[in-house]
Amino acid sequence: MQNEKFPAAPYKKYLMNELFKKSLKRSHSYYMLEAHKAHCIMLSETGIITKDVARNILKALSIVNEKLKTLNLDDFTGEEEDLYFIIEKIMIDEIGLQDAGALHTGRSRNDLGHTIFRMAFRDELISIIEDLSILAQSLYEKGIETRKSIITAWTHCQPAQPTTYGHYLGAILESLIRELERLMFNFQYVDCSPYGSAAITTTGFPINRETTAQLLGFIEPVINSYGGIASADYLLNSLGIIKSLAVHLGKFSVDQLDWARMEIGQIIVPDSWVQKSSIMPQKRNAVVFEHLRARFSAISSLCDVPGNSMKNTPFGDIDDIETEFHEHVHEIFDIMKITIPMISEIVKVIKIHPDNPGQMIDRSCLLATELADSLVRTEGINFKQAHGIAAVVSKYCTDNNISLTQIPDDLISRTFESETGLKMKNDKEKLKQFLTPEYFVEIRTVLGGPSPAALDSAYNIYDKKLIDLRGKIQKQRNRHMEASVEMERRIKLLN
């Protein structure tokens, strides 16, 4: 059995074929050819290979590029182990073993594979960061638009206090901005080149790792070659941040689904985003938020796969930290590509119901907090006393199934005298002012509060942060584009 020819039929069918399909699907050939070109240029510039050999290699890579455009699974016989060897065979057929074989000088499939994945990962990541920045802008604009739109805020799944939709969205936006800042901070570790690490310990050839890093658009090389082929902190950190933002955007989706329910109805979802029932003509199903909730749950779960795959594995180049979980990482981005733009668009069209939030605030006695606060400010009593008075009034409403606006005119003054032994100074007109959602919101001018003044200040900060983030994203994009231009310039110099 030791003399059987590789690969065994089941090995080819269930492993090699699947990995090859994924290579085709994920454009690994593009990244591999870019890495090949950068390595070839560097080998020539350092004098490890001659310019004639480099020109031959680059010519062969151009032919490979054309042939790979029509490559499919039927072309994969298993005689070559993977895409790397397929490309190598085409090159040997085109320019001969002598020149084609020189390309692999001073490197390994280990560092090549890690370089290719980092290039793919960083491109996917920066695209998702851009999508998330667009979502952040949608939240910002809707928050500005609704900064005076009264809604009910909830705690413990119960109506709690009045606020505004702009105040609520500010919280979602602020969390998202922090996640984006963390992703951009971590990007400096993502966009580092392991190329030149070779198998583990670099090489005895005088390669220049800075050159290949620059030509491939990396910020800099990974310093330690062992870490270049073994470390995965850049990946786990990124996925941890993505998991966190998926959890928070999932919570936002759940809120919107609840708030669109008929019995709450504080947001309105346009008909163009609502599905109907096949049997119940009155139904308006805002299932877009169900899909968003499910997708964010899937993203969160998939983010755990790489870390679980690596747990209790050696620190080295092993398939546990490569091909076996790469597809799960790509799948995370696949879901995000069709989810983040959708949530960005639905945010733009949400409207606040003109009546329902106010009715819920009234019937749920949500102004009781401000009644207590106002009594402290205007009557000179302590909050414990004021809280007791507001609690008695709220219980009266609950027991009699009425709202705060329907209580007897003298209920608050009678309760005040009973609880404090004092005569109340406020008349009924002043008390009515305390018992409006608008007053509740407007008086909360403290940093972080929902008043228009406080929100304007907060949104000014958000605006500056978003501008800064867009600048940082563009800087990364520019470096990658400039690297492509520089690669072509150096190729022309060889020719």
- pLDDT attached to residue 27: 67
Separation between Cα atoms, residue 37 and residue 261, nearest integer Å: 57
pLDDT for 403 equals 87
Q: Which CATH architecture has domain 368-435?
A: Orthogonal Bundle (1.10)
Residue 3 confidence (pLDDT): 63
Report the C-alpha gap between 140 and 163 in whole angstroms: 17
pLDDT value, residue 62: 95
Residue 378 is predicted with a pLDDT of 93
Q: Which CATH number fits domain 110-359+457-486: 3.40.91.10, 1.20.140.70, 1.20.200.10, 3.20.20.70?
A: 1.20.200.10
* 3-state per-residue secondary structure call for the chain: CCCCCCCCHHHHHHHHHHHHHHHHHCCHHHHHHHHHHHHHHHHHHCCCCCHHHHHHHHHHHHHHHHHHCCCCHHHCCCCCCCHHHHHHHHHHHHHCHHHHHHHHCCCCHHHHHHHHHHHHHHHHHHHHHHHHHHHHHHHHHHHHHCCCCEEEEEECCEEEEEEEHHHHHHHHHHHHHHHHHHHHHHHHHHCEECCCCCCCCCCCCCCCHHHHHHHCCCCEECCCHHHHHHCCHHHHHHHHHHHHHHHHHHHHHHHHHHHCCCCCCCEECCHHHCECCCCCCCCCECCHHHHHHHHHHHHHHHCHHHHHHHCCCCCCCCHHHCHHHHHHHHHHHHHHHHHHHHHHHHHHHCEECCCHHHHHHHHCCCCHHHHHHHHHHHHCCCHHHHHHHHHHHHHHHHHHCCCHHHCCCCHHHHHHHHHHCCCCCCCHHHHHHHCCHHHHHHCCCCCCCCCHHHHHHHHHHHHHHHHHHHHHHHHHHHHHHHHHHHHHHHHHHHC
The pLDDT of residue 73 is 64
**Per-residue model confidence as pLDDT tens for the chain (495 residues):** 566 777 777 877 777 777 777 776 666 889 999 999 999 999 999 999 999 999 999 999 999 999 888 877 666 676 767 888 889 999 999 999 999 999 999 999 999 999 999 999 999 999 999 999 999 999 999 999 999 999 999 999 999 999 999 999 999 999 999 999 999 999 999 999 999 999 999 999 999 999 999 999 999 999 999 999 999 999 999 999 999 999 999 999 999 999 999 889 999 999 899 888 889 988 888 899 999 999 999 999 999 998 888 888 888 887 766 777 788 899 999 999 999 999 999 999 999 999 999 999 988 989 999 999 999 999 999 999 999 999 999 999 999 999 888 899 899 999 999 999 999 998 888 888 888 999 999 999 999 999 999 999 999 999 999 999 999 999 999 999 999 999 999 999 988
Judge if pTM exceeds 0.85.
Answer: yes
∠ at Cα 231 (230, 236), nearest 5°? 135
**What confidence score (pLDDT) does residue 124 get?**
96
* Closest by Cα among 386, 374, 243, 360 to 305: 243
pLDDT at 16: 72
Question: 128 exposed, middle or buried (CB, 10 Å; 0-12, 13-18, 19+)?
Answer: buried
Check if the beta carbon of residue 385 is closer than 8 Å to that of residue 391.
no
Instruction: Enumerate the domain spans of the chain.
Output: 9-105, 110-359+457-486, 368-435
Domain 9-105: state its class: mainly alpha
